[in-house]
Amino acid sequence: NAGVTQTPKFQVLKTGQSMTLQCAQDMNHNSMYWYRQDPGMGLRLIYYSASEGTTDKGEVPNGYNVSRLNKREFSLRLESAAPSQTSVYFCASSEVGAIGQGRDGYTFGSGTRLTVV
């Protein structure tokens, strides 16, 4: 089925370890996003890429880096994981960066549940 694929689905890291969360979409969307979701905090934007070749910081970028590898793939890297980064991470994509043109809204992946101990 067409959509957004995230890997891995679950991960446990030790403090200080690094890892990369992978995201790929097969809908030919221009824009991709990384959100984290925490209890009582809702969805908070970490980074986004309005189009291939561009990335911008969101609300909570500290401790993360991103790479827009090509139009399909957008990865999120934790260089030195901290317990505060324990969260559920969602990748999403949309047709264009200006949401008004993207009447289909965002398509989300199923999430990566990350625990940092």
Partner 1 sequence: QKEVEQDPGPLSVPEGAIVSLNCTYSNSAFQYFMWYRQYSRKGPELLMYTYSSGNKEDGRFTAQVDKSSKYISLFIRDSQPSDSATYLCAMSAWQAGTALIFGKGTTLSVSS
* Contact residues for partner 1, defined by CB under 8 A: 4, 33, 35, 40-45, 48, 50, 54, 56, 58, 90, 92, 97-100, 103-111
Q: Which two tokens stand for residue 11?
A: 């991960």
- C-beta closer to partner 1: residue 19 or 88: 88
Euclidean distance between CA atoms 114 and 62, whole angstroms: 17
Q: How far is the CB of 78 from partner 1 (least distance, A)?
A: 20
- For the chain, the residue count is 117
Task: Decide: residue 78, CB within 10 A, 0-12 exposed, 13-18 middle, 19+ buried.
Answer: buried
Euclidean distance between CA atoms 93 and 106, whole angstroms: 5
- C-beta closer to partner 1: residue 14 or 40: 40
- C-beta closer to partner 1: residue 17 or 51: 51
Q: How far is the CB of 16 from partner 1 (least distance, A)?
A: 28
